[in-house]
Amino acid sequence: MLDKKINHPLHEKENRTICFSDATMVKVKQIIARYPEGREKSAILPLLHIAQEEFDGYLSVDVMDYIAGLLNIQPIEVYEVATFYSQYYLDQVGKYVIEICRTGPCAICGGEKMQTYLEKKLAIKTGETTPDGLFTIKAVECLGACGSAPVMQINTEFYELLTEEKIDRLLEELTVKAKEEKPEKSKWIEKFF
Amino acid sequence: MDRKILLKDIAVPGIRTFEVYRSNGGYQSVEKALKRMSPDEVVEEVKKSGLRGRGGAGFPAGMKWSFIDKKSLNPIYLICNADESEPGTFKDRYLMEKIPHILIEGMIGASYALGANTAYIYVRGEYKYIIGILNEAIREACQNGFLGKNILGSPYSLDIHVHSGAGAYICGEETALIESLEGKRGNPRIKPPFPAVVGLYGCPTVVNNVETLANVGFIINNGGSEYARYGTGKSTGTKLISACGNINNPGVYEIELGLSVREFIYSEKYCGGIKNGKELKAVIAGGSSVPILPKDLILQTAAGEERLMTYESLAEGGFVSGTSLGSGGFIVYDEDACIVRNTWNLARFYHHESCGQCSPCREGTGWMENVLHRIETGKGRMKDIDLLVSIANKIEGNTICPLGDAAAWPVASAIRHFRHEFEEHVLNPVKRENLAPTDL
């Protein structure tokens, strides 16, 4: 948690409008209504998930400021939260973020070998993104699927009982899928929030 | 010894849906509680059941509930802790995925007992698909009149909301979870005041684990004393054990408390023995935070008694020769496992997950990780071993929340039981090439 920093100069504004679509806004209002009046700040975690999904997969300073405005809180309150939780990305990531579990139970079942294999296969180090912008590798702590170790998560999907062949197949499938797929942003939000 | 409460109907096709769950006797406890029992009677039954918190601490659930100040003018909240992140633990995920209504039913009974009209389920951010399953279960329960205003025509109303975490082990600690639910960093609070007095939004709050709440329906239906007939002694009921590591049948098992550890590891019904015909070396019996025990001490206590899967038996011998049932995350290591490397791995985990609030934990976990890394990579000195013990001792008991203790115990116990392996690493440094690539 301590190794994160905000790279973006605060004064530098982006060239895009940060604003949720009307459909997302309906959902956002529903989420805020789950908490008592005056406690809207409670919605910050789910809203940051949605913002990250809607605005290119990471939380820029402008996006965080936008969320602060929506919840009527100070921007610093959003930065505090965004830098604390490991699922919020402060820098650009690939379309598919591969989070490979490195904690004990996975490690004794070959998790570290899978991490090395991923790095070799994609020719990047953990923490980096492939030049085509498709894959980012991240090493994460226990994903809570130790019974089917080794495990990784790609975006919201779990992939379990990993082998080198399985990884080969999966990366191929995703590469093909990335070319065909049209973005369907609101679907994800409907499903999980 | 294999009666089941939670996973009894797990094999019934479609049990995830309201319809099938209901036709298998689901939600009867809500009818019984709301129509024939007072909230205090429900609390009494849970007290009688002896049900203990299934998240790891094992605190008696009924007693926790009775601390709630019902005369408070503030609203009362129930929070379900579904931030399952203790390494080796994946039982709550399994339960919520397969049979989500058992949790919703238990939460209605618990909320009624506490006088809560709003309840939250705090799910760890990685379990996004579980959020979808829970939302669907809540929608079904609402549609059938078991949630919302005036449940089953009674004056009692309840809303349950699912809240998503975002990747932080520390939020499994109840006060950190409350901070997180309030939209802040997950920094644990100083106790007292306990959440039962000052909890969510400063109001009386009970935080219970998924598995704990899932037992409430059975207790209301059958009575606390019937529940207490399951299990043995002070360890009543059943427990979900998530078994993983070098075993033949990893997975989630519901066991009646009192089963012997030997049977759990070697029986075909459970772990099915050690994978690839290897020998058992060590076990972490209750999630990564509890002391690791070598084969001879996990199968038998130091006094030579058969070790049982109960709170008391696993703790027999204290931290000198015992461990803890914890969250039920049962990690098995075979003869090839390197204890030094495993201890380093876990130390790194706690360093990564320390919230940074208390200096003994923030600094100490990093020092332990570094020193262990030094030993594992062949650069260790003999005095490093005692240095580790000394750091662990200085963290333990000196932090706001139990993460400090949880970080200290795996290191201290690994050295207590496997000191020779650490010494061997120092005396015969070998170049260990397969260390995780980016951690060096």
pLDDT class of A182 with cuts at 50, 70, 90: low
Distinct helix (H) and strand (E) counts, chain A: 8, 4
Which among A91, A106, A131 is the end of a domain?
A: A91
Which among B228, B256, B278 is the end of a domain?
A: B228
* Partner-chain contact A104 B346, CB within 8 Å: yes
Query: Across the A/B interface, how many CB contacts are shorter than 8 Å?
Result: 180
Report whether pLDDT(A74) > 70: yes
Q: Which pair of structure tokens corresponds to residue B309?
A: 């899967």
Q: How far apart are CA B360 and CA A142, in angstroms?
A: 23
Which residues of chain A have a CB within 8 Å of the CB of B127? 144
Q: What is the structure's pLDDT at A180?
A: 79
* Distance (Å) from the alpha carbon of B33 to chain A's nearest alpha carbon: 26
The arithmetic mean of pLDDT across residues B44-60, rounded, is 95
Q: What is the structure's pLDDT at A187?
A: 62
For residue A183, is it within any domain? no
Q: How far apart are CA B174 and CA A45, in angstroms?
A: 17
The arithmetic mean of pLDDT across residues B329-350, rounded, is 96
Q: What's the CATH code of the domain at B262?
A: 3.10.20.600
Q: Among B75, B166, B244, select the one facing A87 at the smallest CB separation.
A: B166
Q: What is the structure's pLDDT at A17?
A: 84
pLDDT class of B292 with cuts at 50, 70, 90: very high
Q: pLDDT by residue (tens digit) across B390-409? A: 999 999 999 999 999 999 99
CB distance B97 to B242 below 8 Å: no
Query: What domain range includes position A60?
Result: 1-91
pLDDT class of B440 with cuts at 50, 70, 90: very low
Strand partners, B251: B243
Residues A2 and A38 in one domain: yes
* Partner-chain contact B182 A39, CB within 8 Å: yes
CB distance B241 to B268 below 8 Å: no
| Beta pairing class for B231-232 and B292-294 | unpaired
Mean pLDDT of the residues in chain B? 95
Mean pLDDT of the residues in chain A? 90
- Cα four-point dihedral sign A87, A92, A98, A101: negative
Residues B267 and B131 in one domain: no
CB distance B94 to B133 below 8 Å: no
Interface membership of A132 toward B (CB under 8 Å): no
Percent of chain B with pLDDT strictly greater than 90 = 94
pLDDT class of A167 with cuts at 50, 70, 90: very high
Residues A61 and A106 in one domain: no
* Partner-chain contact B244 A127, CB within 8 Å: no
* Partner-chain contact B166 A126, CB within 8 Å: no
For residue B440, is it within any domain? no
SS3 B57: coil
- Work out the number of other CB atoms within 10 angstroms of the CB of residue B275: 16
pLDDT class of A125 with cuts at 50, 70, 90: very high
Report whether pLDDT(A60) > 50: yes
Which residues of chain A have a CB within 8 Å of the CB of B329? 146
| Beta pairing class for B77-82 and B118-123 | parallel
For residue B351, is it within any domain? yes
For residue B295, is it within any domain? yes
Residues B380 and B262 in one domain: no
Q: Which residue of B has its CA nearest to A109?
A: B245
Residues A85 and A100 in one domain: no
For residue A32, is it within any domain? yes
CB distance B382 to B389 below 8 Å: no
Residues A20 and A83 in one domain: yes
Q: Which residue of A has its CA nearest to B136?
A: A191
Q: Which pair of structure tokens corresponds to residue B291?
A: 């002391």
* Partner-chain contact A41 B183, CB within 8 Å: yes
* DSSP string computed for B382-407: HHHHHHHHHHHHHHTT-SSSTHHHHH
Q: What is the structure's pLDDT at A29?
A: 96
Please tell me the total count of domains within chain B: 3
Which residues of chain B have a CB within 8 Å of the CB of A45? 125, 163-166, 180, 183
| Beta pairing class for B280-284 and B292-294 | antiparallel
* Distance (Å) from the alpha carbon of B433 to chain A's nearest alpha carbon: 11
For residue A193, is it within any domain? no
For residue B195, is it within any domain? yes
CB distance B303 to B288 below 8 Å: no
Report whether pLDDT(A181) > 90: no
What is the number of alpha carbons within 13 Å of residue B171 lying toward its C-beta?
34
Q: What's the CATH code of the domain at A166?
A: 3.40.30.10
Which residues of chain B have a CB within 8 Å of the CB of A121? none
Residues B181 and B241 in one domain: no
Residues A174 and A100 in one domain: yes
The region, left, alpha or beta by phi > 0 then psi within -120 to 50, assigned to residue A99 is: beta
Q: Which pair of structure tokens corresponds to residue B92?
A: 């709550």
Lowest mean pLDDT segment, chosen from A8-22, B29-43, B243-257, B331-345: A8-22
Q: What is the structure's pLDDT at B175?
A: 98
pLDDT class of B432 with cuts at 50, 70, 90: low
Q: Considering only CA atoms, which of A102, A24, A95 is closest in space to residue A63?
A: A24
Residues A100 and A86 in one domain: no
Q: Which residue of B has its CA nearest to A89?
A: B166
Residues B220 and B94 in one domain: yes
Report whether pLDDT(B18) > 90: yes
Q: pLDDT by residue (tens digit) across A142-165? A: 999 999 999 999 998 999 999 999
Interface membership of A193 toward B (CB under 8 Å): yes
Distance separating the N- and C-terminal Cα atoms of chain B: 48
* Partner-chain contact B169 A141, CB within 8 Å: yes
Lowest mean pLDDT segment, chosen from A14-23, B57-66, B162-171: A14-23
Q: What is the structure's pLDDT at B319?
A: 87
- Work out the number of other CB atoms within 10 angstroms of the CB of residue A136: 24
Which among A91, A121, A142 is the end of a domain?
A: A91
Report whether pLDDT(A10) > 70: no
Report whether pLDDT(B174) > 70: yes
* Partner-chain contact A139 B93, CB within 8 Å: no
Residues ≥6 apart with Cβ < 8 Å to A190: A27
Segment holding B61, helix H or strand E: helix B61-66
For residue A189, is it within any domain? no
Determine the Cα angle at B83 with ends B77 and B84, to 5°. 135
Residues B235 and B219 in one domain: no
Residues B317 and B366 in one domain: no
The arithmetic mean of pLDDT across residues B282-310, rounded, is 97
Interface test with B, best of A4, A87, A88 (most B CBs within 10 A): A87
Q: Furthest-apart CA pair in chain B: how many Å?
A: 74
Residues ≥6 apart with Cβ < 8 Å to A187: none
Which among A66, A91, A116 is the end of a domain?
A: A91
Lookup result for tokens 């496992």: B337
- Work out the number of other CB atoms within 10 angstroms of the CB of residue B291: 27
pLDDT class of B70 with cuts at 50, 70, 90: confident
SS3 B282: strand
Q: Among A71, A105, A141, select the one facing B244 at the smallest CB separation.
A: A105
Residues B217 and B242 in one domain: no
pLDDT class of B171 with cuts at 50, 70, 90: very high
Give the ranges where B255-402 is alpha helix by DSSP (H).
261-266, 295-299, 311-315, 318-321, 339-353, 359-376, 382-395
For residue B12, is it within any domain? no
Q: Considering only CA atoms, which of B340, B128, B376, B73 is closest in space to residue A187?
A: B128
Q: Which pair of structure tokens corresponds to residue B275?
A: 């994978």
Residues in chain B: 440
Residues A103 and A174 in one domain: yes
Report whether pLDDT(A62) > 50: yes
pLDDT class of A15 with cuts at 50, 70, 90: confident
Residues B397 and B293 in one domain: no
SS3 B269: coil
Residue B405 carries which side chain, given as an amino acid letter? D
Residues A103 and A45 in one domain: no
Please tell me the total count of domains within chain A: 2
The arithmetic mean of pLDDT across residues B43-50, rounded, is 97
Which residues of chain A have a CB within 8 Å of the CB of B437? 112, 115-116, 119, 125-126
The arithmetic mean of pLDDT across residues B328-341, rounded, is 96
* Partner-chain contact B166 A192, CB within 8 Å: no
CB distance B115 to B358 below 8 Å: no
Distance separating the N- and C-terminal Cα atoms of chain A: 25
Q: Considering only CA atoms, which of B134, B187, B137 is closest in space to residue B162?
A: B134
Which residues of chain B have a CB within 8 Å of the CB of A193? 131, 135, 164
**CA B114 vs CA A11, B17, B215, B300: distances in Å:** 50, 27, 16, 41
Residues B169 and B237 in one domain: no
Which among B159, B194, B228 is the end of a domain?
A: B228
Q: What is the structure's pLDDT at A85?
A: 97
Percent of chain B with pLDDT strictly greater than 70 = 98
The arithmetic mean of pLDDT across residues B48-64, rounded, is 95
- Work out the number of other CB atoms within 10 angstroms of the CB of residue B411: 28
Q: What's the CATH code of the domain at B397?
A: 1.20.1440.230
Residues B55 and B195 in one domain: yes
For residue B9, is it within any domain? no
For residue A185, is it within any domain? no
Q: Among A49, A104, A191, select the one facing B164 at the smallest CB separation.
A: A49
Lowest mean pLDDT segment, chosen from A11-15, A63-67, A116-120, B91-95: A11-15
Which among B293, B314, B334 is the end of a domain?
A: B334
Which residues of chain B have a CB within 8 Å of the CB of A32? none
Residues A137 and A173 in one domain: yes
Residues A118 and A156 in one domain: yes
Residues B293 and B166 in one domain: no
What value of ipTM does the predicted structure carry? 0.93
Residues A55 and A133 in one domain: no
Report whether pLDDT(B89) > 60: yes
* Partner-chain contact B124 A144, CB within 8 Å: yes
Lookup result for tokens 């009775």: B66
Query: What domain range includes position B197?
Result: 18-228
Percent of chain A with pLDDT strictly greater than 70 = 89
For residue B10, is it within any domain? no
Lookup result for tokens 């994160």: A4
Residues A114 and A132 in one domain: yes
CB distance B66 to B165 below 8 Å: no
Q: Is the pTM value of this prediction over 0.80?
A: yes
Q: Considering only CA atoms, which of B46, B49, B48, B36 is closest in space to residue B78?
A: B46
Q: What's the CATH code of the domain at A41?
A: 1.10.10.1590
Q: What is the structure's pLDDT at B188?
A: 98
The arithmetic mean of pLDDT across residues B287-300, rounded, is 97
Strand partners, B242: B252, B329
Q: What is the structure's pLDDT at B429?
A: 82
Residues B214 and B130 in one domain: yes
The arithmetic mean of pLDDT across residues B276-283, rounded, is 97
* DSSP string computed for B303-314: TSPBPBSSHHHH
